[in-house]
Structure 1
C-alpha cells in the first residue's frame, strides 16, 4: 500500500513539474505572421479608410506590431471621436478581431489595436511582464506620438486583454492620467482564479508564473468602468468577472457609478456575435457619459 501511495505521489509530482514547465504554452496560443499590412484587410479598410500600420517600441527594446484604425486622419476630429486602445485575448493575433473592430466602428471610435510580444508580427516572447510592456508602449504611442489627451482615450480588453486593460488603466490613474473609461469584456479577477477553476487538482497558487492580479489593480482605477460578461462562459466563469467588478470602486473620480452588464445565454467565444448590439450600445453610452463630464 505504501508503495502504491509513493508511486502515486511521484507520478503526481512529475505531472505538476511538467505542467509548470509548459504553463505558458498552455496559457498563450499566438499565431505569428511575417507581415500584417492592414491595407490588405479589405473588411477593416471599409470601416476605417485611413487605417495605417504602426510599429511600437517597448521598454525592453522589442518592437510590436499594430494597426491604427481611423475613419479619417483629421486631427481636429479627435475630441469628437475618442481612440480606443484595444487588447485582444490569448490566441491568434489582431487580424482575427475584425468583428470587434466592427463593434467599435459602429460606436464611432477610432482604434489602436496591438499585438503582444510573440503574437502576429511582434518580436519577443509573451509573458505577464511582456504584456505589461506592450500596454505601456500602446499608451505612450497614443499619448506622445498621436498626441491624444488622456480624456480622449478609452482602454478596452477582452478576456486576457482585459487584464492588460486593467493593468494599464490602474497605472495611468495612479499617475493622474485618467482615461475616459475602462471597458473589460469576459475577463477575470486573477489568472490564479481562472487556472484554479480549470485545474483544481493542481497547486496553481504555488506554481503559476503569470498571475494577473486584476482584482488588486482595479482598486486604483478612478475613471468610469464598464464590465460585460456572459452567464454561459465556461472559459472564464462569470463569477470571476463579478469578483473583479466587486473589487472596483463604486464610483469614478467624476462620480460615475461602475457598470456591470450581464449577457444572458452568452458564452466566451461567441460573445462578439451574440452580444454585438449590447456591447455597441454600452460603449456608446460610456462615451456619451464621458462627454457630459
Structure 2
C-alpha cells in the first residue's frame, strides 16, 4: 500500500484500487471469470469518469492482479486510452506456478480450476509493458 501512496503523492497520479470479488472486504466467491469481470467493470468506470484524463490510463497489477492486468490489456489491444501496462511479481499461469510450488500438483492438474493463462494473452497486448520482479518474492 505504501507504493500506492507514493504514486499518488509524489507523482500526483490518480489511483483506482479494485478489490476483486472474494478478496478483501468484497463479498461473493472468487472465480477467474468473476475477477476478470470485476477488472473490466473498473476499466469501463474509468473510461466514463469525467474527473480524470481518460486518455492516460496505466493498468497495474501485482501477483494475481498482474495476471488480471495482462488479461485486461489483452482484451483492449490498440485502445489508445491505455498508455501502458505494469505487472509486478506475476506468473505465466496458475498451473505452472502451482507445479513449481508444490511438486506433486503436476499429477493433479485436473484439480486446478483457475488458469490465468497470461502466457497466451501477453502477445495480444500492444501497449508498452513493464515487468517488475524480485528475488525476495517467496511466492511468485
Q: Is TM > 0.5 for Structure 1 vs Structure 2?
A: yes
More strand by share: 1
Report the CA distance shift for 1:145/1:151 in structure 2 as closer, same or farther (over 3 A).
closer
Alignment of 1:74-223 (within 5 A): 97=1, 99-105=2-8, 106-146=10-50, 151-173=55-77, 176-178=78-80, 179-202=82-105, 203-223=107-127
**C-alpha distance in 1 between matches for 2:54 and 2:71:** 16
Partner SS for 2:30: coil
**C-alpha distance in 2 between matches for 1:187 and 1:100:** 17
Partner SS for 2:15: strand
Alignment deviations for residues 220-257 of structure 1 (CA, whole Å, 9 cap, x no partner): 00001001100233211xxxxxxxxxxxxxxxxxxxxx
* 1:150–1:177 Cα contact (<8 Å) kept: no
Larger radius of gyration: 1
TM-score by length of 1: 0.44
TM-score by length of 2: 0.88
RMSD: 1.8
**C-alpha distance in 1 between matches for 2:104 and 2:62:** 27
**C-alpha distance in 1 between matches for 2:50 and 2:95:** 36
Higher relative CO (Cα under 8 Å, sequence separation at least 6) belongs to: 2
**C-alpha distance in 2 between matches for 1:142 and 1:127:** 23
**C-alpha distance in 2 between matches for 1:183 and 1:197:** 24
User: How many residues are paired up?
Assistant: 137
Q: CA deviation at 1:102?
A: 1.8
Report the CA distance shift for 1:206/1:185 in structure 2 as closer, same or farther (over 3 A).
same
Q: CA deviation at 1:204?
A: 4.4
* 2:46–2:54 Cα contact (<8 Å) kept: no
**C-alpha distance in 2 between matches for 1:223 and 1:147:** 23
What corresponds to 1:227 in structure 2? 131
